[in-house]
């Protein structure tokens, strides 16, 4: 994910390193109801300790702003004292001001989350905290069973005892425990004292993958030539020492021998290296995400791993159990749900029931949604786009965001979209609830305004070798009728498609739309295409319609590309 430094100006109040609170002396209350910090101060018997931490972190007055909205998760006095005891200190000063800032920011979301929204988001809240982390919500009765509103926990750590107290600039939730802020990488969390992953951690170290998953942020150059911070996120599928022992594996050498690996463990072609890479998903996926599929009808989903040719299939079978690699008896295992969702600063760790060697899965349907992308997600959540836009969320209105400068796509413009076009060259677009576009996958589409002969390239997920039918789902609006009819200088929205620079087809998807009705439609762009190897592929779309450079209403709207295996 990518975070532009200048995009955090909206949150400048929370990253100010100065010792003086920049908002001291300002007046914030504009309603009869108090703002968040004042509300906490009005209950000293409950929050005097937390207020002291907020003031020490120079964030008290910032959270009192009337022009900003906050959801504050406030630990009560008992919770703060117990947190100090756990940290081995007696005051916040012993932990330092920077730690205090991190602690406070971890308990604040810069958005309003009422009780209904909070309950609906059970599993993981949609919005990140000001410390750039997600908070999970669970309902447990203390014995691992589902509970009611009396049994709500944040991160399985902090008991919520009061919900959504309304303040003038948001809501305050009261916690019986303080949440421990995330500062460690997935590797550091995996190797904490008492964790059962000693052998797996040694294998990560021997292969060099430890160094990769230890990185939390790195500097990269975006499409505008600016240096930006990109967050590196991972999901580790951990194997316990006990699980290895059940398979007769007690050392890294035993594991290498079991896999038939050579001695050069750091080589990407080494079987041990490939095995470890197979247990690293290159995104932050919590348990709920791993158990979710692309469509309501789907019962399985394939996940890319750091092993470029190794895919994991997660499926829900007839026994209602979620399996990894169900069709491969040697690799088949399950997620140990009670030991999943161990969160780190850069991802999650989930425990497996087996040691899961690399599987050879059979081809399955792959849905490639170009907007289902961590970089786009982070860009939206950093405050970019039209006011009100939320990533992958249906709203009461349509929203756009310019994503032309991101590294997600490569593209070339050629006099795009006409002189008076209001469309960006590459746009992230979310749909509204009363539109036929609401059927779009994850409520969004990629809108392109590239001009005649302009093109865009995007990388697909890993696709297993085999033959596939390829279908494009796209958005159509009545203002695009001239494309559908091939009038007003348009040749019907002609486009050229290729994969990896080969297998070119020339097609006109918009001329397959049966009537001038706003909706999402499908067109087969390849009746059959064969991929000779299991890998990602570069998909290229080239515009070949003169009207793409002359008509201000010209744009192409891509929802997803579907790859369906052809079995013979």
State residue 13's pLDDT score. Answer: 35
Residues in the chain: 568
Q: What are the pLDDT digits (tens) for 327-342?
A: 999 999 999 999 999 9
State residue 374's pLDDT score. Answer: 84
Q: Residue 456 contacts by C-beta under 8 Å, 6 or more apart in sequence?
A: 409, 410, 411, 412, 426, 448, 450, 540, 541
Distance CA 34, CA 43 (A): 12
Strand partners, 467: 530
Mean pLDDT across 233-254: 97
Q: What are the pLDDT digits (tens) for 457-478?
A: 999 998 989 999 999 999 999 9
Whether the per-residue pLDDT at 215 is higher than 90: the answer is yes
Q: Which residues of 212-237 are buried (b: 16+ CB within 10 A; e: fewer)?
A: bbbebeeeeebeeeeebbbbbbbbbb
Query: 413 is written with which tokens?
Result: 């413009």
Three-class SS state of 351: strand
- 368-565 carries CATH number 2.60.120: yes
pLDDT band at 554 (very low <50, low <70, confident <90, very high): very high
Instruction: Report DSSP state, residue 250.
Output: -
Task: Output the average pLDDT for the chain.
Answer: 89
Whether the per-residue pLDDT at 501 is higher than 70: the answer is yes
pLDDT band at 548 (very low <50, low <70, confident <90, very high): very high
Element holding 303 (H helix, E strand)? strand 300-304
pLDDT band at 4 (very low <50, low <70, confident <90, very high): very low
Q: Which residues of 124-140 are buried (b: 16+ CB within 10 A; e: fewer)?
A: bbbbbbbbbbbbbbbee
Mean pLDDT across 131-142: 81
Whether the per-residue pLDDT at 213 is higher than 80: the answer is yes
Q: What are the pLDDT digits (tens) for 79-104?
A: 999 999 999 999 999 999 999 999 99
Which of 138-152, 207-221, 356-370, 385-399 comes out lowest in average pLDDT?
Answer: 138-152
Residue listed under structure tokens 């009780």: 115
Which of 118-132, 310-324, 430-444 comes out lowest in average pLDDT?
Answer: 118-132
Query: Percent of the chain having pLDDT more than 90?
Result: 75
DSSP 179-234: PPPP-S-HHHHHTSTT-S-HHHHHHHHHHTHHHHHT--EEEEE-TTS-EEEEE--E
Element holding 258 (H helix, E strand)? helix 252-259
The reply to whether 186-362 shares the fold of 2-175 is yes
Q: What are the pLDDT digits (tens) for 309-327?
A: 899 999 999 999 999 999 9
State residue 470's pLDDT score. Answer: 98
Which of 145-149, 171-175, 345-349 comes out lowest in average pLDDT?
Answer: 145-149
Q: Which residues of 534-568 are buried (b: 16+ CB within 10 A; e: fewer)?
A: beebebbbbbbbbbbbbbebbbbbbbbbbbbeeee
Q: Which CATH class is domain 186-362?
A: mainly beta
Report strand pairing: 158-167 vs 366-368.
Answer: unpaired
pLDDT band at 221 (very low <50, low <70, confident <90, very high): confident
Mean pLDDT across 214-237: 83
State residue 141's pLDDT score. Answer: 53
Which of 16-30, 285-299, 494-508 comes out lowest in average pLDDT?
Answer: 16-30
State residue 31's pLDDT score. Answer: 40
Report strand pairing: 170-175 vs 333-334.
Answer: unpaired
pLDDT band at 143 (very low <50, low <70, confident <90, very high): low
Nearest to 52 by CA among 104, 102, 98: 104
pLDDT band at 22 (very low <50, low <70, confident <90, very high): very low
Mean pLDDT across 441-447: 96
Contact 344, 186 (CB under 8 A): yes
Contact 239, 353 (CB under 8 A): no
State residue 407's pLDDT score. Answer: 87
Whether the per-residue pLDDT at 375 is higher than 70: the answer is yes
Phi/psi of residue 16, nearest 5 degrees:
-65, 125
Domain ranges of the chain: 2-175, 186-362, 368-565
Distance CA 220, CA 218 (A): 6
- 2-175 carries CATH number 2.30.180.10: yes
């Amino acid at each position: 994910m990518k975070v532009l430094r200048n995009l955090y100006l909206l949150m400048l109040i929370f990253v100010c390193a100065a010792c003086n609170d920049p908002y001291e002396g300002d007046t914030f209350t504009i309603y009869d109801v108090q703002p968040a910090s004042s509300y906490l101060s009005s209950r000293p018997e409950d929050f005097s300790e937390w207020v002291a931490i907020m003031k020490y972190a120079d964030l008290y007055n910032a959270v009192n702003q009337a022009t900003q909205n906050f959801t504050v998760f406030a630990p009560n006095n008992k919770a703060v004292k117990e947190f100090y005891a756990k940290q081995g200190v007696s005051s916040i000063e012993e932990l330092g001001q920077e730690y205090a800032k991190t602690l406070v920011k971890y308990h604040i979301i810069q958005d309003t989350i009422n009780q209904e929204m909070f309950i609906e988001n059970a599993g993981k809240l949609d919005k990140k905290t000001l410390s750039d982390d997600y908070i999970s919500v669970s309902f447990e009765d203390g014995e691992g069973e589902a509970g009611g509103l009396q049994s709500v926990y944040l991160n399985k750590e902090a008991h919520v005892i009061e919900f959504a107290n309304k303040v003038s600039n948001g809501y305050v939730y009261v916690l019986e425990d303080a949440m421990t802020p995330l500062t460690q990488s997935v590797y550091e969390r995996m190797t904490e004292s008492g964790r059962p992953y000693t052998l797996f951690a040694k294998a990560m170290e021997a292969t060099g993958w430890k160094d990769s998953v230890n990185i939390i942020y790195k500097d990269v150059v975006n499409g505008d030539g600016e240096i930006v911070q990109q967050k590196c996120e991972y999901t580790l599928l951990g194997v316990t020492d006990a699980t290895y022992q059940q398979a007769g594996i007690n050392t890294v050498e035993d594991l290498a021998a079991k896999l038939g690996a050579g001695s050069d463990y750091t080589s990407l072609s080494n079987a041990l290296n490939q095995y470890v890479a197979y247990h690293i998903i290159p995104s932050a996926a919590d348990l709920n995400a791993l158990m979710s599929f692309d469509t309501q009808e789907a019962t399985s989903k394939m996940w890319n791993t750091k092993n470029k040719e190794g895919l994991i299939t997660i499926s829900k079978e007839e026994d209602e159990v979620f399996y990894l690699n169900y069709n491969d008896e040697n690799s088949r295992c399950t997620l140990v749900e009670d030991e999943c969702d161990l969160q780190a600063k850069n991802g999650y760790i989930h425990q497996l029931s087996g040691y899961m060697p690399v599987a050879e899965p059979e081809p399955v349907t792959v849905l490639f949604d170009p907007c289902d992308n961590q970089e786009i997600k982070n860009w939206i959540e950093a405050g970019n786009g039209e006011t009100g836009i939320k990533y992958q969320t249906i709203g009461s209105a349509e929203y756009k965001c310019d994503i032309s400068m991101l590294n997600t796509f490569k593209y070339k413009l050629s006099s795009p979209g006409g002189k008076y076009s209001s469309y960006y060259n590459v746009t992230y677009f979310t749909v509204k609830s009363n539109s036929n576009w609401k059927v779009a996958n994850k409520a969004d589409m990629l809108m392109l305004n590239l001009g005649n002969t302009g093109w865009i390239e995007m990388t697909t997920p890993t696709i297993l070798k085999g033959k596939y039918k390829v279908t494009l789902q796209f958005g159509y609006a009545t203002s695009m009728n001239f494309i559908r009819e091939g009038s007003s200088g348009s040749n019907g929205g002609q486009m050229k498609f290729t994969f990896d620079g080969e297998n070119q087809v020339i097609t006109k998807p918009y001329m397959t739309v049966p009537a001038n009705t706003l909706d999402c439609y499908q067109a087969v762009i390849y009746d059959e295409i064969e991929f000779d190897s299991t890998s990602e592929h570069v998909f290229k779309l080239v515009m070949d319609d003169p009207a793409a450079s002359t008509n201000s209403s010209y744009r192409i709207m891509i929802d997803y590309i579907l790859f369906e295996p052809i079995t013979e």
